[in-house]
């Protein structure tokens, strides 16, 4: 099992630290990121209200969730938050731009979502904080967490959908 646990460690580190880095861009402005104030303006522009709440939720999911996945601590819960965040990212920001990453499409966030989904389904492996402390969930609870992550992301996306106001009927003569 050493090979499987080693590859899970690599997967967790790569996926978790990429998410955490994106969260740090949003929170602190690192690596040419918008910083928390800039990110809040972007969140408001995407029609998430109240914007301050959704700013904290999205930054927390990416920054804290990414770090927790990377070290393998409370992995199912952290992975669930990242799956929910991924659903929102893909549907709200990237899907309208197509598939390819060079156009801002879903290619890159979809790969990250698949990685975190694999981590949720397989578990963090022996080389993780969860492995050291014996934290894990039985499979039925993992399905519940997956449903919560997907459902939460879809609900957040749905709350921002704007239905055009009905237009008055044309006056008949």
Going by pLDDT thresholds of 50, 70 and 90, the confidence category of residue 147 is confident
Give the span between the Cα atoms of 132 and 105, in whole angstroms: 38
Question: Which tens digits make up the pLDDT trace of 26-47?
Answer: 999 999 999 999 999 999 998 8
pLDDT at res. 63: 98
pLDDT at res. 173: 47
The chain-wide mean pLDDT, for the chain, equals 87
pLDDT at res. 164: 46
Give the span between the Cα atoms of 53 and 158, in whole angstroms: 16
Residue 100: pLDDT above 70? yes
Residue 140: pLDDT above 80? no
- Supply angle C-alpha 155, 74, 26, rounded to 5: 55
Residue 166: pLDDT above 70? no
pLDDT at res. 162: 54
Going by pLDDT thresholds of 50, 70 and 90, the confidence category of residue 12 is very high
Question: Which tens digits make up the pLDDT trace of 45-89?
Answer: 988 888 898 899 999 999 999 999 999 999 998 999 999 899 888
Q: Are 76 and 146 in contact (CB under 8 A)?
A: no
Segment 144-156 shows an average pLDDT of 70
DSSP 72-139: TSSHHHHHHHHHHHHHHIIIIIIGGG-S-GGGT-SHHHHHHHHHHHHHHHH---SSSHHHHHT----H
Hey, what are 169's tokens? 């009927």
Give the span between the Cα atoms of 109 and 72, in whole angstroms: 20
Burial of 167: CB neighbours in 10 Å, binned 0-12, 13-18, 19+ = exposed
More confident residue, 153 or 103: 103
């Amino acid at each position: 099992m050493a090979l499987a646990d080693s590859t899970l460690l690599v997967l967790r580190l790569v996926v978790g630290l990429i998410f955490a880095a994106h969260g740090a861009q949003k929170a602190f402005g690192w690596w040419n990121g918008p910083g928390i104030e800039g990110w809040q303006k972007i969140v408001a522009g995407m029609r998430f209200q109240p914007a301050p709440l959704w700013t904290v939720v999205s930054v927390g999911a990416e920054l804290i969730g990414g770090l927790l996945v990377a070290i393998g601590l409370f992995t199912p819960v952290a992975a669930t938050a990242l799956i929910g965040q991924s659903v929102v990212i893909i549907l709200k920001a990237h899907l309208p731009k197509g598939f390819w990453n060079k156009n801002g499409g879903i290619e890159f966030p979809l790969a990250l979502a698949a990685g975190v989904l694999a981590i949720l389904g397989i578990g963090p492996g022996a080389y993780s904080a969860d492995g050291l402390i014996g934290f894990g969930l039985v499979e039925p609870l993992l399905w519940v967490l997956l449903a919560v992550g997907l459902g939460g992301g879809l609900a957040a996306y749905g709350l921002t959908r704007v239905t055009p106001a009905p237009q008055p009927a044309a006056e008949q003569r």
